[in-house]
Amino acid sequence: MLITRRTLLTASAGGLVLAGLGGRAALADLAKLKQKDSYKIGFAQTESNNPWRLAQTASMKDEAAKRGWQLVYTDAAGSAAKQVADVRSMIAQKVDVILLAPREEKPLIPAVMEAKKAGIPLFLIDRNVDATLATAGKDYVAFIGSDFVKEGHQAAEALTKAVNGQAKIIELQGSTGSSPANDRMKGFADYIKDHPGMQIIASQSGDFARDKGRQVFETLYQAHPDATALYSHNDEMTMGAIAAMEAAGKVPGKDLIIASIDGTKDATQALIDGKVYVVVECNPKFGPKAFDAVERYGRGETIDTWLVNDDRVFTKENAAGYMPEAY
């Protein structure tokens, strides 16, 4: 069975099922949005240290420019505390709507609740917050983004097939406390528990960053030279790990089979070159979908509490076809 974030939530406490993802926004509880020709939108970005984040920001800026809407943009530079302050500043500037990409699941809860109290509709984009502390459709309008549990599951499925069910795996986790790191870990672990030959022998955070990924992989691989596979929660850490493998005289794609997530240009080239076996897509181009959701909310439409991105799976077979879209 494919266990996704949606099924995990549905299997949790009853209250969560009623108010959780996959339902519909209960308009009575939520901050309202007046219909206008042009909105002042706050976009609170997490950090700008990788191509995924840059592609996401570009998509938001392009969409605002296309529609002639004002964008108040902030970059939290990897600090959850700064991101809370950024949202507070947007509230003070009386933006019409806040689009928040929360760095971590718990520390951004105050930002969500303060926007609600100020009567400003807030959408979570790309990352989620802790669903036991804030509820889509009640505390914020909706979550727009990928199913990270499913991404982890798909990475595990492809990797298991590639190695015939036998691998000693090093896992590079994303930023600690972030929903993609938590859920990608869950989805992968859930799949391999039925495949006893697939063992995670080391797992540590590389903070979704290339150089941190390189350093962490180097340390873990020195401690576990018997590793035969890498599962990395994003392409930037994968590229860092590939550099570490090559520096150690190893051949990525032969000595270690690699599963990754995102769909950057570098990782797509690595698929074509046979260094990476699979990349599960996580699409950063949120602009059109997020701005459409705001527009529909302003028209008084009911918004699904989870607008799920449909992500693809890339291998050597389809990588060249995807490359023109890669970022």
User: Is residue 126 within the footprint of ligand AHR (CB under 6 A)?
Assistant: yes
Give min distance, CB of 241 to ligand AHR, in A.
14
Give min distance, CB of 325 to ligand AHR, in A.
16
User: Is residue 128 within the footprint of ligand AHR (CB under 6 A)?
Assistant: no
Q: How far is CA 57 from CA 66, 125, 177, 224, 305, in A?
A: 14, 12, 22, 38, 23
Neighbours of 59 (CB within 10 A): 20
Neighbours of 224 (CB within 10 A): 14
Minimum CB distance to ligand AHR smaller for 19 or for 326: 326
User: Is residue 210 within the footprint of ligand AHR (CB under 6 A)?
Assistant: no
Residues 129-188 that bind ligand AHR (CB under 6 A): 180
Phi, psi of 118 (to 5 degrees): -80, -5
| Residues 282 and 146 sit within 8 Å (Cβ to Cβ) | yes
- CA–CA distance, 121 with 123 (Å, rounded to integer): 7
| Residues 233 and 261 sit within 8 Å (Cβ to Cβ) | yes
Residue from 188, 208, 231, 277 in contact with ligand AHR (CB under 6 A): 208
Residue from 232, 234, 260, 305 in contact with ligand AHR (CB under 6 A): 234
For 270, the 3-state DSSP assignment is helix
Q: What is the x/- site pattern for ligand AHR, positions 259-298, by CB under 6 A?
A: --xx-------------------x----------------
User: Is residue 52 within the footprint of ligand AHR (CB under 6 A)?
Assistant: yes
Q: What is the x/- site pattern for ligand AHR, positions 242-261, by CB under 6 A?
A: -------------------x
User: Is residue 314 within the footprint of ligand AHR (CB under 6 A)?
Assistant: no
Q: Which residues contact 259 (CB under 8 A, 6 or more apart)?
A: 155, 156, 158, 159, 162, 229, 230, 231, 232, 276, 277, 278, 279, 280
Minimum CB distance to ligand AHR smaller for 139 or for 207: 207
Question: Nearest-5° angle of CA 238, CA 178, CA 264?
Answer: 30
Contacting residues toward ligand AHR, per CB under 6 A: 50, 52-53, 126-127, 180, 208, 234, 236, 261-262, 282
